[in-house]
Every structure is written in structure tokens, then in C-alpha cells.
Amino acid sequence: MRLALAVAALRRRPSRTLLAILGVTVSAAMLLDMVMLASGMRESFRSLLTARGFELRLAPRGTLPFDTDATMGDAGAITATLRRNPDIGAISPVLGASLHMPRADGTLTSVGLGVQANVQGDYELLEGTDPNAPDAMIVNDDLLRALDARIGDTVEVAVGYDPQLRSFSGRRALIVSGRARFFYLSRGQRAAALPLQTLQAMHGSARRDRVSLLMVAVKPGADAEVVREWVAREVPAATAISTATAIAQVDERLSYFRQLSVILGAVSLGVGFLLVTTLVTVSVTERIGEIAVMRAIGVSKLHIVQQIVVEGVAISAAGAVAGLALGLVTARYLNSILSAFPGLPMAIDFFLFQPRSAWTALGMLALSGIAAGIYPAWRGASLPIAETLRRDAV
């Protein structure tokens, strides 16, 4: 009954009700987007780091992974040391380099990764086979298009360009064995992966038994932080970074986005609250005589308050449902803009939809609708009956 009466009251002024719902829709969309932004990139980054099961990353001491061109020597000895810990599972060594592919019209340059295909955590194979053979390599679609090549083609690859001598330290003909999607690259960045030993051999003695990064998987049930502390003691030449540490660093660097999302989310929630409060207050003022008559014939104050509160909740609910759809559309558009930021991994999302985010936004709007209707409803229902009827009649 209360819901039917509330709907009937809202239908008396359809234009005003529609405008209020549209206003709440915009507020709900912004609120949802801000809730998604507050935790989206953090969760997206966490998913990226844990996608392949590697909880620890070892970089040259004092650096972040691939933050510089520094490498770690005696990679074999470091790997042997790590294998002494029973809590450590897979170990994936990675060597980074710039690959140059001389062509008649110039030289193509791309990111190159030397990996061990059976334990790698840098790419997802889309077509073909992993680079298991010494003369094999896989490439991403951007490099494949730039080379105008296909799987099975042979490509001349060079490394170690010396700008003074205008020469390369090593060359090799490699066969494109497959194409892959690389996890940590930015949009449009060309990349290739080849066997670690092949890339080391192409550099000669400069990078023999050297790696840029070691990714370490911790066995189920083991504490990654305990293992990280052990690695820090046993391998002083490396900086061990756990997933938790990396996420903490990301949180610190992205604190601006969280503060911005909290501020804009609070503003959008406040705007929605004021819209509903204004509409309910105007509606109560217009129906003050009707409310007095209902009180005079015995309708309880609580019943009237509940009916008017339901009106506010109905507006908030309708706006929230429409705002959910609008918020997802705008979030996708904004994410496409922010994801194009140079150097940002393509797999990172600023706006990551999670059911919890939607329920949080809808819950706050529902509470806003209830709060918006309580005061004007209680004030209207508390006016003196006789005086209100006389004033309304006059």
C-alpha cells in the first residue's frame, strides 16, 4: 500500500520526477565510477602480478624490475642458491634487451626477452609454438605487422648496437615460431621472446650468465614474506620484491587517484542526496493539506513518514539502476583514455568492475534516499492538524 501511494504521488508531477531521476542517475554513475577507480587499478595490478603464480621478483640491487638496463651476474649460482629453500617452487630467469631488425628501408626496434619457455611468466601464447628451439622466437601482433611477416618466416635479428661504430655486437637469423600477448607491455609496444641462452650468446661475453630479472613462485602454504626475507639475506646482489611490496608501492604512487575518487564520490553522493531532499520537501509542502487530512482521519504519523520515505527511496532506486548502466559505459570510455598513458602495461585497468563496487554504490544511494525523506516527512507529519487544515483552507 505504501509503495502504491508513493508511486501515485510521484506520477502527479511526471516531469519533475523524471528530472530528479535523471539527476540521481548522473550522480549514481559518477559514484560508481569513483568506487571502481578507488580500487580498480590496485586490484588490476594485483591480478597482473599473480596471473602466472610468481609472488617474488628479484632485480639488480637498488632497482625495480626493468627500471634500468642493469643485470645480475652469476645467474646460475643465484638460481642454485634459491633452490636450496624448500619453500621455493618455479624460478623463471629473464633477460631484457633491445632487438634490432635491419630492413631495406631502415631498422625496426622492439623489446626483447630472453626466457625459458617452460617456466616463463611474461606472455600468453596465442598461436604457434613456444620458442624452445635455439633459433626460434615468438612475437606480438604489433611486431608481426611491422615486419609484415607470418609464422614460419625467418627474420634477421641483431643486438648490442654501438652508435659510434654503427655496428651490432651480435646477429642471428631467427624463425618466427608463434605469436603471443605480452602481459607487461604498453599498448602498441613491439616485443619478441626468444630462448634465454640464445639472447645471452648473441651478446657474447658482455651478458654471459646474466639476467635482468628472476621471477620466483612460492609453494602452496608457504609465506611469501618469509621467503622474501630469506632471499634478501642469501642473495645480497638482488633486491627481492614481493607482490605485497609491489602493491604497497603502487598504492603509494596512486594515492592521488584514491583521494580524487573519494572527493568526487562524496560530491556525487551529496548531489544525489540534495536532489532527492529537494524533491521530497517540495512534494511534502504541496501536499501539506492532504497530510493533515490523513492525520485527522486517524492515519498514524509513522505511516505518513514511511510513505514519503518510500518516495525518496523509489527515486534513488530508479536513478541508481539507470546510473549503473551509465556508469559502466562512462567507465569503459574513461578507461580507454587512461590506458593509453605511455609506459602503462596494456593489461592494467583504472576502472575495474567488481560486484562489490556496484553493491557499495547502490547501498550508499539507498541510504541517501532514506535519509533524504526522513526529515521533510517527519516535519510535515508533525504539524498541528487543526491549524494546518485552517491554513490550507484559507
Task: Give the C-alpha separation, 245 to 258, whole Å.
Answer: 18
The rounded mean pLDDT for the chain is: 79
Mean pLDDT of 248-252: 71
Half-sphere exposure of 43 toward its Cβ, with a 13 Å CA cutoff? 13
Residue from 241, 200, 330 nearest 62 by CA: 241
Task: Give the C-alpha separation, 24 to 45, whole Å.
Answer: 32
pLDDT in tens, 153-176: 999 988 876 666 566 778 889 999
Q: Strands 136-139, 167-182: parallel, antiparallel or unpaired by DSSP? A: parallel
Is pLDDT at 137 greater than 90 in this prediction? yes
Q: Report pTM.
A: 0.67
pLDDT in tens, 40-64: 777 777 777 776 778 888 888 877 7
Residue 194 confidence (pLDDT):
93
Mean pLDDT of 25-32: 81
Sorting pLDDT into bands at 50, 70 and 90, what band is 391? low
Residue 4 confidence (pLDDT):
61
Residue 393 confidence (pLDDT):
53
Residue 386 confidence (pLDDT):
58
Is pLDDT at 200 greater than 70 in this prediction? yes
Residue 174 confidence (pLDDT):
93
Q: Strands 56-60, 123-128: parallel, antiparallel or unpaired by DSSP? A: unpaired
Task: Give the C-alpha separation, 292 to 353, whole Å.
Answer: 47
Mean pLDDT of 247-276: 75
Question: According to the per-residue pLDDT averaged within each range, which of 125-129, 328-332, 380-384 is highest?
Answer: 125-129
Residue 126 confidence (pLDDT):
92
Is pLDDT at 388 greater than 60 in this prediction? no
φ/ψ (deg, to 5) at 107: -125, 125
Task: Give the C-alpha separation, 54 to 116, whole Å.
Answer: 14
Residue 367 confidence (pLDDT):
78
User: Is residue 123 within 8 Å of 112, Cβ to Cβ?
Assistant: no
Looking at per-residue pLDDT, the higher value among 384 and 250 belongs to 250
Is pLDDT at 289 greater than 80 in this prediction? no
Three-state SS letters, 237-286: CEEEEEHHHHHHHHHHHCHHHHHHHHHHHHHHHHHHHHHHHHHHHHHHHH
Residue 328 confidence (pLDDT):
84
Question: According to the per-residue pLDDT averaged within each range, which of 42-56, 76-90, 298-312, 355-369 is highest?
Answer: 76-90
Task: Give the C-alpha separation, 97 to 203, whole Å.
Answer: 9
Residue 272 confidence (pLDDT):
77
Is pLDDT at 281 greater than 90 in this prediction? no
Sorting pLDDT into bands at 50, 70 and 90, what band is 321? confident
Compute CA 68 distance to the chain's CA centroid, rounded to the nearest angstrom: 25
Sorting pLDDT into bands at 50, 70 and 90, what band is 115? very high
Mean pLDDT of 215-234: 88
Residue 12 confidence (pLDDT):
67
CA–CA–CA angle 192, 198, 201 (5° rounding): 125
Mean pLDDT of 29-36: 80
